Structure 1
Amino acid sequence: MPDAPASTAAPIAAQVDQLLQRLGVPKSAYADGELAVRSPISGETIALVRQTSSEEAKAAIGRAHAAHLAWRLVPGPRRGELVRLLGEELRAAKADLGLLVTLEVGKVPSEGAGEVQEMIDICDFAVGLSRQLYGLTIATERPEHRMMETWHPLGVVGVISAFNFPVAVWSWNAALALVCGDSVVWKPSEKTPLTALATHAIAQRALARFGDAPEGLLELLVGQRDIGEVLVDDPRVPVLSATGSTAMGRQVGPRLAARFARAILELGGNNAAIVTPSADLDLALRGIAFAAMGTAGQRCTTLRRLFVHDGIYDTLVPRLAKVYGQVKVGDPRAPGTLVGPLIDGAAFDGMQKALAESRAAGATVHGGERVAGIGGDGAYYVRPALVELPAHAGPALRETFAPILYVVRYSSFDQAIEWHNAVGAGLSSSIFTLDMREAERFMSCAGSDCGIANVNIGPSGAEIGGAFGGEKETGGGREAGSDAWKAYMRRATNTINYSTALPLAQGVTFDIGD
């Protein structure tokens, strides 16, 4: 299939301007600022965003702190009503916001719209959660006593999000934080501030409809790393959710720990899949293709390593190489495009460096070249790279945020599991097998060491119902579903004595007489 030609649609800057105006973003926020925003589709500058100063950031955190003190007194189901209204506003704006994601990030339209749908889904989840912030009643050894736990709002929740999911990650945190009684201060990636401005405008409409929410409940900080540091270091922010690279997490984590703040870290993911002799190869081929090439390899859950059994390697890998050679690369707005651009030149350079290291290590590289004739000089379209490595070593041991899939043969299942776990990150993983024993072992404590372990689907494409996050260098944080809400609240253990006696636990006596 030929690569997609450059789009003949209206200039992207003009489309972005129309979308932002429809979404309610004032032109002063993106027309004459200091931060240049470019679209990876064409490489052109599409906005000049006004940045938040350090003083403004501190003031915003102050407003959020004051808002929390009022918001925590609002009953949970009433807080859920605000999130329900946010979901309604997102539904109304889904087409425009999804297209804006495409223009600012370079995702194909179905992925842009899918990201907004994910925001809607987490709002639905959080509305139900607003009536289910349960604590436990606990058996006590003391007669005529009751012991229980209660959950209370924690405070200001800081959110630092990455470019590849410019709006969904905020919603995972904000929807839960709001129903838990917290306020939210958001610092989006400096590469994708436009979708954040639009989301903030949408949220303001929900707040206006709600009517009596305190000022400062949802705050937005736009800028570079220094603005994020203000959020990381402010003692009024007791919990911070940060999504990005492991290198970023190594800097953020210790600074939060130094002031005893909570960290919800969702960092790198050098994700792998194992294809066993019993696998449905047609299913595996489709699952691998999306997981490795979707979003141009720029998901934290992108499939980056593939272990294929000796017995099926020569059947599966040539088929996979054919798919890699035929997949349509191009302007994400063009019909049939499956792989859009890399975010910028730095991503392209990182990809080429990793491929050069692979060739030096004796690898066979299929694809990986820059695709000409699409976008301008500042746009970076590449053919996804399938890299057959002679051993699980070298560049395969680290994450390169680009569409590179390293393929390695394996002979024993034990060997495949060992290689699978032999990297720093521990986010997502998968196995393609029809053998129940292999599947169960992969999901057991002796199998994948990742936070997500899938069977017969790829590692990419999580749903909001499950807690999202991973282990080791991925940071250990969890967002979205299951009981991830507990990270946004503080727990109190309560004991109530309804007797006239005062028995102590563990048989301790302390008699002071009459």
Structure 2
Amino acid sequence: MSRTVIPTAQDLGQQAFEAARRCGVDVAAVAGDAAHRSPVNGRSLGGVRWDASSAVDEAVARAQVAYRQWRSVPAPARGAVVKRLGELLAEHKEDLAALVSYEVGKITSEALGEVQEMIDICDFALGLSRQLYGRTSVSERPGHRLMETWHPLGVVGVISAFNFPVAVWSWNTAIALVCGDTVVWKPSEQAPLCAWASAGLLRRALEECGAPVDVSQVVVGGPDVGEALVDHPGVALVSATGSTRMGRSVGPRVANRFGRSLLELGGNNAAIVAPSADLDLTLRGIVFSAAGTAGQRCTTMRRVIMHTSVAQELTERLVEAYGRLPIGNPMTQGTLVGPLIHQQAHDAMRAALAKAAEQGGSLVAGGERVLAEAAPDAFYVQPAIVTMPGQSDIVRAETFAPLLYVMTYDDFDEAIALNNDVPQGLSSSLFTRDQAEAEVFVSADGSDCGIVNVNIGTSGAEIGGAFGGEKETGGGRESGSDAWRAYMRRATNTVNYSGELPLAQGVDFSV
């Protein structure tokens, strides 16, 4: 079901820049010659300014100077800045969410949810600012104290992707700031207004709290800017979100200069549906995870592994639900599926559908482009369902679009093997009412992913849990739990208060 009212380029551009202005962006200062296209209508929002790669050197230099001051500020005082940022985000939630919709095409409820994630991580980081705990150990030497302490790391480079243009920055920045680090952000080229608005709100929070404003830097530009940030010797940690292909380049380059990297890369996420599954709940979980954000989340569900006893009924119900999905202008109330980000995403989806057919797949729902007459320069698609005889090469590859592969299993061990038999390892889910199956799935013998869910879909992580995955997903962890340790360095301290000098392991070196 498609919705044909698509805003004009003039209306959309004016609305976007007005929303940015209300968030504190100096619109005149960010104007430029770089084309800036909205996926909502495929037309330009207006020209913006891009920075040259040389701007990275300047940004890192400013961040390094600010770091020397910021690292000495008590962590609870650093937390006060993040608290104020959360308050400002709440005040400007609607405008920032609107920018997310204008620039990357998210439906309003998901855009608002993304800004809420930013607010939530500020709450989390505020509490964390009083909980950067080390530990004390027992020394084998009398009159000695052995302990571990954690210290700020330095400048953190953040590279974010279009699909979460503001939330991923906030996950990194809120944690990095309370840890005493400074941040240089290279946002997605698709969402510069989102970046300038977010950074402007942080700058206001820093000013109001009397903190050095240079702890936060933004460099907007193309791949050359990202490469300069990755290679810069003054960047202690590079936190990069994107494709596995991107991660294969970033990881070795950062390692080559002995920097640290935190990689959040591709996903190829599956749901196992057991014979005992509540199919009403399962249906809702699958449809949101597979079709939400037009299939453009790293946690998007791309595979459903159904027990043969429920396969026919669930497939029929999925096909019927997909036929009712409202597709169109993401700002229209009731729309559930917005546009793909660009033509390349559409072409990749079409190519994947063709390969799936070559490898024995059968298209049972969707797959076609819609709204082409109303928005000839935008790319809206009907989310697709393809039944597959098994897990072929195309199924093992991530296609960043709403394309769901459905296959069957007979034995639970077989289902787990199918879940794990992909290069990626981000998110997974099991729908079951069998407690034993649930326990196996979350055990070492179950899913090999970083996120392992039972009776919920693969999307929709909360900020309290560490977010990330294994294998070609990169192994990084952001947001909650003890993810803060990635942004700090650990020191092992031995304090001798005995007045003597006994050596460890009983070594005698008397002179």
> Could you tell me the TM-score, scaled by structure 2's length?
0.98
Partner of 1:260: 258
Shift of the alpha carbon at 1:38?
A: 0.9
C-alpha contact 2:138 2:145 (8 A) present in aligned 1: yes
Shift of the alpha carbon at 1:105?
A: 0.9
Code of the aligned partner of 1:364: S
**Structure 1 Cα separation of the partners of residues 280 and 243 of structure 2:** 33
Partner of 2:274: 276
**Structure 2 Cα separation of the partners of residues 448 and 329 of structure 1:** 33
**Structure 1 Cα separation of the partners of residues 99 and 29 of structure 2:** 16
What does 1:301-312 align with in structure 2 at a 5 Å threshold? Answer: 301-312=299-310
**Structure 2 Cα separation of the partners of residues 371 and 254 of structure 1:** 41
C-alpha contact 1:119 1:168 (8 A) present in aligned 2: yes
Cα distance per residue 1:134-190 (max 9 Å; x no partner):
000111111121111110001000000000000000000000000000000000011
Structure 1 counterpart of 2:295, from 294, 297, 304: 297
C-alpha contact 1:388 1:408 (8 A) present in aligned 2: yes
Code of the aligned partner of 1:42: N
Partner of 1:17: 17
3-state SS, counterpart of residue 184 of structure 1: strand
- Say yes or no: does 1:234 pair with 2:232: yes
How many percent identity over aligned positions?
A: 59
- Runs of 4+ off more than 4 Å: none
Q: Tell me the C-alpha RMSD between the 2 structures.
A: 1.1
Shift of the alpha carbon at 1:325?
A: 1.4
What does 1:276-355 align with in structure 2 at a 5 Å threshold? Answer: 276-355=274-353
- Say yes or no: does 1:196 pair with 2:157: no
C-alpha contact 2:469 2:477 (8 A) present in aligned 1: yes
**Structure 1 Cα separation of the partners of residues 144 and 439 of structure 2:** 43
Cα distance per residue 1:377-415 (max 9 Å; x no partner):
210000000010111113111100000000001111111
**Structure 1 Cα separation of the partners of residues 66 and 190 of structure 2:** 29
C-alpha contact 2:203 2:213 (8 A) present in aligned 1: no
C-alpha contact 2:328 2:371 (8 A) present in aligned 1: no
Cα distance per residue 1:203-239 (max 9 Å; x no partner):
111112112x224210000000000111101111010
> Could you tell me the TM-score, scaled by structure 1's length?
0.97
- Say yes or no: does 1:55 pair with 2:58: no
C-alpha contact 2:4 2:371 (8 A) present in aligned 1: no
Partner of 1:114: 113
C-alpha contact 1:478 1:484 (8 A) present in aligned 2: yes
Partner of 1:221: 219
- Say yes or no: does 1:243 pair with 2:241: yes
**Structure 2 Cα separation of the partners of residues 498 and 424 of structure 1:** 53
Shift of the alpha carbon at 1:28?
A: 2.5
C-alpha contact 1:4 1:374 (8 A) present in aligned 2: no
C-alpha contact 2:385 2:404 (8 A) present in aligned 1: yes
**Structure 2 Cα separation of the partners of residues 374 and 427 of structure 1:** 37
Code of the aligned partner of 2:184: V
**Structure 2 Cα separation of the partners of residues 14 and 172 of structure 1:** 29
3-state SS, counterpart of residue 81 of structure 1: helix
3-state SS, counterpart of residue 51 of structure 1: coil
Q: Judging changes above 3 Å, is the alpha-carbon distance between structure 1 residues 375 and 243 closer, same or farther for their aligned structure 2 residues?
A: farther
Code of the aligned partner of 2:294: A
Code of the aligned partner of 2:165: P
* Bigger Cα displacement from structure 2, 89-98 vs 328-337: 328-337
Shift of the alpha carbon at 1:197?
A: 1.0
**Structure 2 Cα separation of the partners of residues 510 and 158 of structure 1:** 46
Shift of the alpha carbon at 1:373?
A: 4.8
Code of the aligned partner of 1:279: A
Code of the aligned partner of 2:427: S
**Structure 1 Cα separation of the partners of residues 331 and 173 of structure 2:** 30
What does 1:86-125 align with in structure 2 at a 5 Å threshold? Answer: 86-125=85-124
Partner of 1:470: 469
Partner of 1:183: 182
**Structure 2 Cα separation of the partners of residues 157 and 378 of structure 1:** 37
3-state SS, counterpart of residue 241 of structure 1: strand
* Bigger Cα displacement from structure 2, 278-287 vs 496-505: 496-505
Q: Judging changes above 3 Å, is the alpha-carbon distance between structure 1 residues 210 and 60 closer, same or farther for their aligned structure 2 residues?
A: same
**Structure 2 Cα separation of the partners of residues 446 and 204 of structure 1:** 47
The number of aligned residues is: 509
**Structure 2 Cα separation of the partners of residues 467 and 393 of structure 1:** 31
Code of the aligned partner of 1:149: E
Cα distance per residue 1:12-44 (max 9 Å; x no partner):
01111211121121123443x132111111111
**Structure 2 Cα separation of the partners of residues 193 and 507 of structure 1:** 61
C-alpha contact 1:43 1:375 (8 A) present in aligned 2: no
**Structure 2 Cα separation of the partners of residues 509 and 291 of structure 1:** 64
Shift of the alpha carbon at 1:374?
A: 6.3
**Structure 2 Cα separation of the partners of residues 54 and 354 of structure 1:** 35
Cα distance per residue 1:398-456 (max 9 Å; x no partner):
10000000000111111111111111110000000011111011101111000000000
Code of the aligned partner of 2:27: K
**Structure 2 Cα separation of the partners of residues 175 and 189 of structure 1:** 19
* Bigger Cα displacement from structure 2, 54-63 vs 478-487: 54-63
**Structure 2 Cα separation of the partners of residues 96 and 398 of structure 1:** 36
C-alpha contact 2:159 2:185 (8 A) present in aligned 1: yes
3-state SS, counterpart of residue 34 of structure 1: strand
3-state SS, counterpart of residue 369 of structure 2: coil
Shift of the alpha carbon at 1:8?
A: 5.5
**Structure 2 Cα separation of the partners of residues 384 and 30 of structure 1:** 36
C-alpha contact 2:424 2:472 (8 A) present in aligned 1: yes
C-alpha contact 1:29 1:49 (8 A) present in aligned 2: no
- Say yes or no: does 1:491 pair with 2:504: no
Partner of 1:28: 28
Code of the aligned partner of 2:271: A
C-alpha contact 1:292 1:304 (8 A) present in aligned 2: yes
* Bigger Cα displacement from structure 2, 246-255 vs 359-368: 359-368
* Bigger Cα displacement from structure 2, 33-42 vs 401-410: 33-42
Give unmatched runs, 5+ long, in structure 1: none
C-alpha contact 1:44 1:376 (8 A) present in aligned 2: no
Code of the aligned partner of 1:157: V
**Structure 2 Cα separation of the partners of residues 27 and 436 of structure 1:** 56
Partner of 2:80: 81
Shift of the alpha carbon at 1:315?
A: 1.2
**Structure 2 Cα separation of the partners of residues 294 and 71 of structure 1:** 39
